[in-house]
Amino acid sequence: MGWETEAITHLLYRESGLLGLSGLSADVRTLEASPDPKAQFALDYFAYRINAEIGSLVAILGGLDGLVFSGGIGTHSASVRARVLHRLASWLPLSWSEQANASQADWLSTPDSPVTVLRMATDEAAEIWRTGIGCLDGMR
């Protein structure tokens, strides 16, 4: 198509994903606050894709004991977690508390749920740092 590498990189990293779907923003908080149907479509599609990926992994693993929401969106967005969990609960044996999810509790599944669902803050940068330091220490 005659595109330069920089133009393709810009398209993929700056104009695709949630921004490309909504035409508004790549920030989940902005989309959650927007009444625009395109924003809601982008969030619904995002949850749909998360569900599809979890489904693929569950099939490969042959089941699921636990599910952890982490990272910025997984930790902070109750609405994205709810969209994902509503879909998952329709085909996975899991039961979750909408109240626990809305209140940002760490334990989201109900006591009788065969699949444990958690919300867990992570610090990937710190873990990479610790692992790197451990590798360097092993080289001495």
pTM for the whole structure: 0.82
Least confident stretch, 54-58, 85-89, 129-133: 129-133
Split into its structural domains, the chain has a count of 1
Within a domain: residue 20? no
* 102-109: Cβ within 8 A, 24+ apart: 102/78, 104/76, 104/78, 108/69, 108/81
Question: How far is the C-alpha of 68 from the C-alpha of 81, rounded, in Å?
Answer: 10
Whole-angstrom distance, CA of residue 41 vs CA of residue 116: 28
Classify residue 10: in a domain, yes or no: no
Query: pLDDT grade, residue 1 (50/70/90)?
Result: confident
Q: Is residue 116 part of a domain?
A: yes
Is 118 within the bounds of a domain?
Answer: yes
- Residue 113 falls inside a structural domain: yes
Question: Which domain, by its residues, includes 80?
Answer: 35-139
Burial of 41-68, coded b for 16+ CB within 10 Å and e otherwise, reads ebbeebbeebbeebeeebeeeeebeebe
**pLDDT at position 138:** 78
CB proximity list for 93: less than 8 A, separation 6 or greater: 113, 114, 115
The CATH number that applies at residue 120 is 3.30.420.40
pLDDT digits (tens, 9 = 90+) for 92-124: 999 999 999 999 999 999 999 999 999 999 888
| E strand spans, the chain | 66-69, 116-119
- Name the nearest CA neighbour of 51 among 89, 79, 93: 89
Q: Is residue 107, in this structure, part of any structural domain at all?
A: yes
> What is the per-residue pLDDT across 7-62, written as a single tens digit (0 to 9) for each?
888 787 777 889 888 989 999 999 999 999 999 999 999 999 999 999 999 999 99
